[in-house]
Amino acid sequence: MHDELWDLSIAHMDCDAFYASVEKRDNPELQDKPVIIGGGKRGVVSTACYIARIRGVRSAMPMFQALKLCPDAVVVRPRMDAYAEASRAVRALMDELTPQIEPLSLDEAFLDLTGTARLHGAPPAIMLARLVKRMKEELGLSGSIGLSHNKFLAKVASDLDKPRGFSVIGKAETVDFLKPKPVRLIWGIGPATQASLDKAGIHTIGDLHRWEKDQLTERFGQTGERLFHLARGEDFRRISPNAPVKSISKETTFFEDTSDPDVLDGHLWRLSEQVSARAKAKDKAGRVVTLKLKTKAFKTITKRQSLHQPTQMADTIYRVARSLYDAAGNTGPFRLIGVGISDLTAAQDADREGDLLDPDACRRANAERATDKIRAKFGTDAIKKGRALR
Amino acid sequence: MKFSIERAVLLKAVAQAQSVVERRNTIPILANVLIEAEGDSVQFRATDLDIEVVDKASAMVERAGATTVAAVTLNEIVRKLPDGALVTLTEDGVKGRLTIEAGRSNFSLATLPKEDFPVMASSDYATNFAAPAPVLRRLFDKSKFAISTEETRYYLNGVYMHVATGEDGPALRCVATDGHRLARIDAALPDGASDMPGVIVPRKTVGELRKLLDDDDMQIAVSVSETKVRFATPNITLTSKVIDGTFPDYTRVIPQGNTRRLEVDASDFAKAVDRVATVSSERSRAVKLSLDEDRLVLSVNAPDSGAATEELAVAYDDERLEIGFNAKYLLEIASQVDRENAVFLFNSSGDPTLMREGNDTSAVYVVMPMRV
């Protein structure tokens, strides 16, 4: 048993292949089949279940490529409302453990269980084990837990033994654990930082230990200071459930740089749906839609559009993002694309006005809203799209 | 170049020029006004590459010539000169300076060569006609509030001026919409305009045009091609590129079958809307209209800030109806009504509503309701 198991209290919970798990739960026939969420004409993998992952399918992979690797996969169109609903159910279970929860997206969250042992009569490790057990039994969803002494390490830990993992990183082994790991393990190190670290001869976290704090700061600015501390397993960020959400965004880095408008459009749609689902789960709507593109040369292009009224509709977010993309001109190939909403307001103020020039938009929004309402009242299964019943 | 000109005349011309000039310019010459003196008049020309204004003013020209100076600075100088002053502008060409003298004031401004000034290429105008200033003023004044500012729908960033068949026969028609409200204004088709291609006149051009239309007796010469539009008085010529895009088929948007008729005094209505909207948060100014037998209740319910209701006596004898609108839109369309009562035609709480003045169909407004 781990020496510090009963003392650690910062956790990261990450659902396993969340979208795919929801689909398998709702349609038991899919249980033993490779399942890919995504597709349609948009043609990008959103999530793949573990069976499909064994065959090499990954998120953000073009669908044709995924199907080449896994021709017998069942492709399911994403039902973001169902995922948002499942996310709320998981959140309700977590709420019983601690009020200190910081959700990162629909399927993962940080939990701070410091000082809850007396309340629950059991240390955090036990409570977290019970949480994943209840998730499995009551919601039919599996999750992996990372338990450590700060957010950075908790998140790293939850990824160590997926799926259905429970990993612990104690204070004693933190440095030895980190040293041989590649620097990209550190949160926030993208390809650009990676490239400049490579240039400095920094490949592993251990390499960072050879640098003084001043040297890192001089060379990498603020990131340098962060790297210095994170390399030593020091992360001073607190779990802040009430930190006001300023924006909601999703981005994806491609396997291969692309300038194919169809592929990019597919990603835009998928990301818009995810942003919308998160906005709905948080009861937020955004007044500004942002499109982010990163070119092959690591140049970041950001375009934003203020909306006439706040929105949380996937359809609206997608349409605005798409027009921003069109206006940006195709200056690809791109290595990353992202969609976000900001200038957030309460959901009640959102999408209240229709568009004279697009009467269908109103109908689509009404349908989306009606579905959400019925599901909220009678559960996720109350309404299913025709294809889910086949 | 050397000429003398009366301060008021100069100010009018320079003011017009500097309003066309973009405030933030990457190309220095575009911040300048081109001054050309010849015969007994001086021309002031300014452009932002999309719009060009040429203003001709009479002056005592001593020495013909041309130069360019910063439009905004020149305007500021002239504005601050005392009324009635005689202003002398001199450019000796060597020092690259324009001197401005009035009484005991003396200014010297840097110039840029006139050769660098971009003069807008002339266009073959397929259609030329004359329209009285009040007619154009009504067409654009009543439609411009609905112009969209959304850059992604650039084809809505202007007024669509075209020939259409109105209630009283062929019409010169202006339409603007931002997808939330729409204005459709008709005027009798002037002679010679029937072949005019439909053009989207950009928002900024509409603003500049307004300055030409103050004089009620003026006939405005209008020239239209596929790519440009020109409005001219004897002294001022405004040329503008039109928006290169297709204006959407707005006719589908105008409801034909709305039967629930509300008639209300526009000014009372606007004031009541304005009052109840006060309590609402700035971001979602939704006003609910509850209609019942000759009774209209306006209400705003903003959970965070408060609530308000106001009752108005109106003419309405249809079924009960509750419908919500953005307060700003209601105010804007109500303020277009200046002679008779405002007539609203509703269908359901989710459908576009039509508004007009009495039974006058030459100015029709459509507004999209809001969920309340």
- pLDDT per position as a tens digit, B302-325: 777 889 999 999 999 999 999 999
Distance CA B124, CA B228 (A): 9
Residue A330, pLDDT score: 67
Minimal-distance CA residue of chain B relative to A358? B179
For the stretch B56-83, pLDDT in tens is: 999 999 999 999 999 999 999 999 999 9
Q: Name the token pair of A233.
A: 């397993």
Position A387 pLDDT exceeds 50: no
User: B180–A323: do the CB atoms touch at under 8 Å?
Assistant: no
Of B368, B371, B372, the CB nearest to A356: B368
- How many CB pairs below 8 A link A and B? 53
Tell me: pLDDT of A390 over 60.
no
A218-252 per-position pLDDT tens digit = 888 888 888 999 999 999 888 877 666 788 999 88
In chain B, % of residues over pLDDT 70: 98
| pLDDT tens digit sequence for A172-225 | 999 999 999 998 888 777 777 888 888 888 999 999 998 888 888 888 888 888
Query: So what's the pLDDT on residue B147?
Result: 96
Closest to B176 in 3D by CA, of B167, B168, B185: B185
Residue B360: count other Cβ atoms within 10 Å of its Cβ: 14
Q: Compare all CA atoms of chain B with the CA of A326 and give the residue at the minimum distance.
A: B152
Q: Give the nearest partner residue to B371 out of A308, A324, A352, using CB atoms.
A: A352
Residue A291 has pLDDT above 60, yes or no: yes
Mean pLDDT of B245-268: 93
**What integer pLDDT is reported at residue B310 of this predicted model?**
96
CB atoms inside a 10 Å sphere around CB B140:
22
Interface touch B284/A353, C-beta < 8 Å: no
Burial label for A206, CB within 10 Å (0-12, 13-18, 19+), is middle
Of the residues A357, A358, A360, A368, the best mutation for testing chain B's interface (the one with the most B CB atoms within 10 Å of its CB) is: A357
Band of pLDDT at residue A309, cut at 50, 70 and 90: confident
Q: Is the pLDDT of residue A308 over 90?
A: no
Check pLDDT > 80 for residue B37. Answer: yes
Asked whether B187 and B362 are in contact (CB, 8 A), the reply is yes
- List all residues of chain A from 309 to 338 with a beta carbon under 8 Å from chain B: 309-310, 320, 323-324, 327
Of the pLDDT bands very low, low, confident and very high (cuts 50, 70, 90), residue B35 is very high
Rg over alpha carbons for chain B, rounded to the nearest Å, is 25
Of all residues in chain A, the one with the smallest CA distance to B329 is A353
Q: Model confidence at A59, in pLDDT bands (50, 70, 90)?
A: confident
- The pTM of the full predicted model, rounded to 2 decimals, is 0.69
CA dihedral sign, ordered B3, B4, B6, B11 = positive
Q: Which residues of A are catalytic?
A: 108
The angle at the Cα of B134, spanning B128 to B140, to the nearest 5 degrees, equals 75
Which residues are within 8 A (CB) of B360 and not within 5 positions of it... i.e. 6 or more apart? B340
The model's pLDDT over B195-232, given as tens digits with 9 standing for 90+, comes to 999 999 999 999 999 988 988 889 999 999 999 999 99
Is the confidence at residue B357, as pLDDT, over 50? yes
Check if the interface score ipTM surpasses 0.90. no
**pLDDT band (50, 70, 90) for residue A386:** very low
A45, with CB counted inside 10 A (0-12, 13-18, 19+), is buried
Chain A residue numbers touching B283 (CB-CB < 8 A): 310, 345, 349
User: What's the confidence (pLDDT) of residue A388?
Assistant: 34
Q: Which residue of B has its CA nearest to A324?
A: B152
At B150 the pLDDT is: 81
Q: How far apart are CA A273 and CA A106, in angstroms?
A: 12
A308-329 as b/e, with b when 16 or more CB fall inside 10 Å? ebbbbbbbbbbbbbbbbbeeee
Tell me whether residues A320 and B152 touch, CB distance under 8 A: yes
CA dist., res. B360 & res. B357, Å (int): 6
Q: What is the mean pLDDT of chain A?
A: 86
Q: Is the pLDDT of residue B281 over 80?
A: no
Q: Give, in order, the Cα–Cα distances in Å from B337 to each of B142, B333, B342, B361.
A: 9, 7, 7, 12
Return the pLDDT at B308.
Answer: 93
CB contact under 8 A, A355 and B368: yes
Share of chain A above pLDDT 70, in %: 93
pLDDT of residue B258: 93
Q: Is the pLDDT confidence value at B164 over 90?
A: yes
- pLDDT at residue A389 above 60? no
Question: Choosing among B284, B301, B351, which should be mutated to test the A contact, i.e. which has the most A CBs within 10 A?
Answer: B284
User: Chain B residues with CB-CB distance to A under 8 A?
Assistant: 150-153, 177-182, 248, 253, 283-284, 286, 324, 326, 350, 352, 366, 368-372
Look at residue B95 and tell me whether its pLDDT is greater than 80. Answer: no
pLDDT of residue A378: 67
Is residue A355 predicted with pLDDT exceeding 80? yes
Residue of A nearest to B366 (CA): A356
Which residues from B are below 8 Å from A308, CB to CB? 150, 178-180
Q: Which of B150, B182, B371 sits opposite A356 (nearest CB)?
A: B182
Q: Which residue has the higher pLDDT, B124 or B32?
A: B32
Q: Is the CB of B151 less than 8 angstroms away from the CB of A305?
A: yes
Q: Is B181 within 8 Å of A355 when comparing Cβ atoms?
A: no
Interface test with A, best of B147, B153, B283 (most A CBs within 10 A): B283
Distance from CA of A307 to the nearest CA of B (A): 8
3-state SS of chain A is CCCCCCCCCEEEEEECCHHHHHHHHHCHHHCCCCEEEECHHHCEEEEECHHHHHCCCCCCCEHHHHHHHCCCCEEECCCHHHHHHHHHHHHHHHHCCCCCEEEEECCEEEEECCCCHHHHCCCHHHHHHHHHHHHHHHHCCCEEEEEECCHHHHHHHHCCCCCCCEEECCCCCHHHHHCCCEHHHCCCCCHHHHHHHHHCCCCEHHHHCCCCHHHHHHHHCHHHHHHHHHHCCCCCCCCCCCCCCCEEEEEEEEEEEECCHHHHHHHHHHHHHHHHHHHHHHCEEEEEEEEEEEECCCCEEEEEEEEEEEECCHHHHHHHHHHHHHHHCCCCCEEEEEEEEEEEEEHHHCCCECCCCCHHHHHHHHHHHHHHHHHHHHCHHHCCCHHHHC
DSSP H or E stretch at residue B18: helix B7-20
Residue B282 confidence (pLDDT) above 70: no
Which of A123-137, A234-248, B123-137 comes out lowest in average pLDDT?
A234-248
What is the model's pLDDT at position A130?
A: 94
Sign of the torsion formed by the C-alpha atoms of B15, B19, B20 and B26: positive
